[in-house]
Amino acid sequence: MAVVHYTLEGSTAFIQMDDGKANALSDAMINELGAALSRAHEEEASAVVLAGRPERFCAGFDLRVMMSSPEAARALLKSGAELLMRLYGYPRPLVAACTGHALAGGALVLLTADERIGTAGAFRIGLNEVSIGMPVPVLAVELARDRLAPTELGRATLQARIYDPAGAVRAGYLDEVVDASETITRAMQTAAALGALSRTAFEASKQRLRSRTIDHILGSLDEDMRRITLGQ
């Protein structure tokens, strides 16, 4: 059963994660998200909206795989990190419709998007690695450094602070919060507006803005994944 659903609405690609549960970043989710991004590029979509299912945006990396063996954890983390860097450097505007909880890897997905529309409610958003005994990966540190408010960087990483949607706006995980009935509509409107920008200018500017971070993360990825999965 597919866990990612794709439609092209006008010139905007709408990509929805829905595994019927918490939307974990499993091998299937990562592979299908990559395929959906490729399809959006092939169909020359002017922008992309990435959404979750009701009350769940993304729960982060699949714990069943992460706990199965160091080798499986390392492979999943690496493929997930490569997907996140693809999202971060995607040449067209990327808008996240945060439909609910976004923890750990799910919060990182938010940090890759150009605009983040959140759903109001009792939802939890943030990087919880330190609270569960895991060092914050270089990947997460650098995305947080790029996108979060400087005053919240230490709290969000070292202190594993988890935010409600309003707090997530102040921290920098989200750009605005709307009612659940408006989240997708607002995200599509935002994507349409961003998609009207010059494609060549947007792509070149995004590359200049983010390529240094992407190159650093990918260049340190293998060693960082090895250290994390060995508990160093």
55-114 residue pLDDT tens:
999 999 998 898 888 888 889 999 999 999 999 999 999 999 999 999 999 999 999 999
Residue 70: per-residue pLDDT: 81
How many secondary structure helices (H) and strands (E) does the chain include? Answer: 9, 12
Confidence tier at 230 by pLDDT (50, 70, 90): low
Strand partners, 48: 13, 94
Strand duo 125-126 + 100-103: pairing:
parallel
In whole angstroms, give the CA distance from residue 136 to residue 224.
10
Q: Identify the CATH class of 4-195.
A: alpha beta
| Beta carbons of 92 and 47 less than 8 angstroms apart | yes
In whole angstroms, give the CA distance from residue 141 to residue 2.
31
DSSP element (H, E) containing 5? strand 4-9
Q: Is the pLDDT of residue 190 over 50?
A: yes
Residue 228: per-residue pLDDT: 72
**Domains in the chain: boundaries:** 4-195
The region, left, alpha or beta by phi > 0 then psi within -120 to 50, assigned to residue 226 is alpha
Residue 232: per-residue pLDDT: 47
pTM above 0.85, yes or no: yes
Type of residue at 34: G
Q: Between the CA of residue 6 and those of 12, 62, 129, 155, what are the distances in Å? A: 11, 22, 31, 36
133-152 residue pLDDT tens:
888 999 999 999 999 999 99
